[in-house]
Amino acid sequence: MTDRKPLKLLLCSPRGFCAGVDRAIRIVELTLKRFGPPVYVRHEIVHNRFVVENLKAKGAVFVEELDQIPDTQAPVIFSAHGVPKSVPAEASDRNMFFLDATCPLVSKVHKEAMVHEKYGREIVLIGHAGHPEVVGTMGQLPPGTIHLVETVADAEAFTPNNPENIAYLTQTTLSVDDTAEIVAVLSRRFPAIAPPHKEDICYATTNRQESVKAVAPLADAMIVVGAPNSSNSQRLVEVALKAGCKHAQLVQRASDIDWSIFDAADTIGLTAGASAPEVLVDEVINAFGERRKLDLETISTADEDVIFNLPRALREAAE
C-alpha cells in the first residue's frame, strides 16, 4: 500500500441514476412487493450488473427473450431501453401480464417515429447498432422504414429515396458532440430534413456529459462508474478524454481500478453513468480513502428534479 499522500477528488454532479433508471428499478421492486416472486424481466432492466444481481436476489428472473419464460401468470417486465412492437404483441398472444418499464424519454422517440411514418417520411436513426434501445426504436415500424446511421461517414454515404421528405431521430444516450457532427452533415446534405420536435438525447445524458466536460480539464485522470454495455457510461469516458483528461477508466466496482494510473495522480475526477447506483460511487471513494488522504469537492453543473410516473398497476403498492 502506498503512503497516504493527499488526493483531490472532484465529484461530478449530476451523476448516477436518472429518473428513467430509477423508475425502471422501482417497477421491478414494487412488482415483487405487489405480486411476489418470481417476476420475469426481459433483458437487463438497466445496464448495471450490481443492480441486476440485487434484483435477482429479491426474486427477479432475467431473460433475453419471451420464449425463455414458461407459461405463467407471473408478471413480465420490459426493460428501460424499450422493445420492438413484436414483443408486447407476443406477450399479448400468450396472455401474459406485462408491465412496460421503458423510459418515457425513449417512448417519446418511439412516438416521433410513428408520427414521421404517418406523414410518409423516410427516417434516419442516429445510434449504435445492436443496442437494445436502437433495436426497440427500429422495431416500432416495418423493416426498411428506419435507416441506422452510426458515424459521420455513414451520414455522408446515406442516400434517401426522397431528400425532400426525411427526418432524423437519435438514441437517447449518445455523445452530444458526436451527434451534433452527424446532424450537421445530414442538415448540409438534406436541408429539408425534419429534426426531432424536442432534442432526443435525454437531459440526464446531456447533464452528465456537461459535468464531465467541466471536471476533466482539472483532473489528471477520471473514473466513470458504470457497465461496459452501458452506452451513456461509455460516452462519459470518451467525453472525458476529448475534454482534455489524459486518462479515463470505466469501472464496474472499486476492484476494477487500475492503481498504476490513479496512484500517481494528484487530482482525480469521479462520475457515474445513469444506470450506476450511488453505493458504487461510495465504494470507489472509500477505496481511494484507504490509500490516500482525500480532499473531496463536488462540482455541480445542473440541478435535476425529474420524476416519472409509475404504471397504474403499481401506484397502490408505491403508496
Under 8 Å between Cβ of 185 and 156 = yes
The C-alpha atoms of residue 101 and residue 112 are separated, in whole angstroms, by 19
By DSSP bridging, strand 122-126 and strand 166-170 are parallel
Q: Which of 29, 112, 122, 133 is labelled catalytic?
A: 133
**Measured between alpha carbons, how far is 151 from 179 in angstroms, rounded to an integer?**
8
Say if residue 130 is exposed, middle or buried (CB neighbours under 10 Å; 0-12, 13-18, 19+): exposed
181 in catalytic set: no
104, 186, 218, 317 from 168: Cα distances, Å? 19, 9, 36, 39
Distance CA 253, CA 165 (A): 47
Spatial CB neighbours of 52, under 8 Å, sequence gap ≥ 6: 44, 45, 46, 60, 62
Active site residues: 133
